[in-house]
A and B are shown apart, each in its own frame.
Chain A
Amino acid sequence: MVSVKPSAHLTRLNSKDDYIAFREHAHRKWDALWNGDATLVSVGVGSSSIAKGALEVLEQAHQVAGDAIVREVSGNGAFWMEPWIEIKRPGVDPVVYGPLTVDDVAGVIAGTRDDLAVGVRGENPVGDIRPLTEIDFFKHQVPLLTRNAGVIEPDSIEDAIARGAYDGYFKVLFEISQEQAIAEVTTANVRGRGGGGFPAGIKWESGRKARNNPKFIVCNSHEGEPNVYKDRHLHECDPHRILEGIMIACIACGAERGYNYIGGEYPLGIRRFRKAVANAERLGLIGKNVLGTGKNVAIRVRTGGGAYVCGEASALMYSIMGVRGQPRTKPPRSVEEGLWKRPTVANNTETLANMPDIIVRGGEWYASLGTENSKGTKLMTMQGPSKLSGVVEVEMGVTMRHLLNDIYGGMREGYTFKGIQTGGASAGPITEDAFDLAIDFDSLGPLNGMLGSGGWVLFDEDVCAVDMARYLTAFSRYESCSKCVPCRLGNPALVEILDRIRFGRGSLEDLALIRRTSSHIIELSLCGLGQVAPVPLVAFLDTYEEEFRQHIVDGVCKCGVCPISAPSRETMLEEVAAD
């Protein structure tokens, strides 16, 4: 197995006191680093910046840095400024420069390229350069889960500890009981970030009460949706936070082993997470008799193989067990009979990443953030032709108007707004009348929309509603595991009807047929995939019915996307004749 080795200088800690001493050492080291007389050159390396040449920038930084210390940090979510470099000079706050190329690196390090400066990471301006927090993209964010993004070196457990990692784990190990830990989670009222919004406290309590042993925790980092990359981002920028969340869950629920099931699509995130596990193991935070407490915590990393349905919790467990990932009927629920038929608590990555702060700062503090029914912050991504792009963390209750216009800078030049697809392939689009709603787990429901995992897809007037509905339905058709009939046969039937319409052979009865077929699939399918597969299509039909009718009645696709609008053989011949 591709083994990731722990950092060589770490040694095992055997007691509470050992750990406290190590934590102090990490803090001292961090303070010395940032308050010392060395220049720090931090390069933001994440999968999005690597695609734009960040590794070459990093290499160049090593070449020309001289006495400066070069650090490999993660991306900070702001895709539009990648690749970037942060320079911390003695006595002033760090300044971030980007987007830049390999050729700019030497100048930036030498201090001659202030034209490339984006902002200061800190409160005080440096010369004419203003703080990042005055830039709209950052100003409106509330970085809790992402506060280490671009700050720590993800591969360094000491960096993470100096910034507060494993404090929550320490607390559940030494200071509070399992019941108290779960009470904090319940008070926090943190709801599952995997899309469903189920209260984590209730799930954990059932997990703790389950009598069958051993028990397991599963972190669902599959993220196979085509519309979101927030869990990948979290793995790349702060793997320790996720790991700590899993470890806290293990202690709170009395589970001896935690799993992280990661989609195979993000190798960098997997590597950084494995490194975090290796280092935590080396320090003795994971393993047998953790810090002399007599408690055992094991962590296993498992990776997926590119099947969306494996994000469904029961399918995910089958996938871990080395068979096809096909969902099963419930009951029994996973907390009674999950992985290897043992009680298993499954949570989304982001849900678990919230736990360290909830344990350290308390459930009440957490519950003060967000809306009545949805607490805390939410990671969100925006795809499509928005001016800016990337991962942001905002408080629950943000409005779409604020998110799109203030944070993501509105539509890109030359594009006209048509809608925003919500919930990936599980819900429908919203239009401007939903723009002033406070977004949380429940508010978009009446409008066919859904918060889901927080991935929004902006689309413009050039995108045909029929074609996009087909794209979404075809996604579910392709990803269906084929176990049950309504989903296996129903989704291809829907795609066929849509193709009829796209090719100009549809009839108005097809619209009724879509609705009828859809309700069969929704009502009769076994798992969440089939139960929502037709939802986007029906919602597109509700929202853009006029466009469907134009295809059928007038025989035109006004966006010029569908085959219907390709010039027919006759018109082509006429054109040739006219030449």
Chain B
Amino acid sequence: MDRSISWKRFFRQWGAFIILGGGVVLGILYFYLQNPIITEAVLASAVRQATPLVLGAMCGLMGERAGIINIGIEGQMLLSAFVGYLVNAWTGNLLVAVFVGVATGAVLGLLLAFMSVTLKVDQIIGGTVINIIAVGLTGYFYQAGLTTKGKLAPIALGKLAELPIIGRALFNNPPITYAAIILVFVLHYVLFYTKWGLRTRAVGEHPRAADTVGVNVYRVRYINVILGGAIAGLAGVFLTLEAVGSFERLMTNGRGFVALAVMIFGKWSPLGSWGAALLFGMTSAIQTQIQFAGVLDIPHQFIGMLPYLLTIVVLAGVVGRSRPPAADGIPYEKE
């Protein structure tokens, strides 16, 4: 990103976000002073809940930054979760399972790219096709009772893990959660500070302009959508191999769609999406705490709605205006 962005412009875009974030941090400090153990537990849970969301959001934004809307994230996550889980159940190997799961996501990304870039199918329909394929395949081949052989376990990073407040949340996580955090920074760098990122954003804003300076629009779109699919695949295997340890029908439970809200909330940027995902993760974690503690005497279904309510509020555009890439969703015709 050109460092010339003035403070005013920066604040117009991120002001609401920063104020909200500041409020949340103050809230956390307040609760930490009240009850450090529960607060740390909520934070740690928030980070893990955020993992599939931020991964899904990064999948979405890679596509949309290049001009391809991906509403098939849910399906990519679901099928990858299932395939990763099956591979692990058969081979007993976690690493191979993760790898195959990620590859599954990438293949679905390739399918989406083929439909939307080459065939120029309406992208909403393309994404829906992927969701239907995933629900169909996982439902058909589902076997009850299988469990994974082992789960990806947390790795504490020495003294860092003992830091107050953030230690447990950030430095005592299983591998995919770490990977997600690292990916956030890597992708942010790639998108805003490298040649590839500049070209990707140009292709998403004004593909013909990119074409006229010799950028291969189709190639940029393919690669971004495929890599995005791989990231969604990582989110999928997170669910089966790191979080739960088995597969259930429709276990993604709308996370692929919530990820889109996270992406929009995060203004199509990896760092912003991470912030948004943490907020969503936090509502999930708090929601669980409320249910456990039984402090509020309302049916748990209502409390369970919290993250989805937040999604609606975000999509209704309450938290600042965000502008999608200008060529988002529009197939590119060369002549």
A-B complex is real: no
A residues whose Cβ falls under 8 Å from a Cβ of B = none
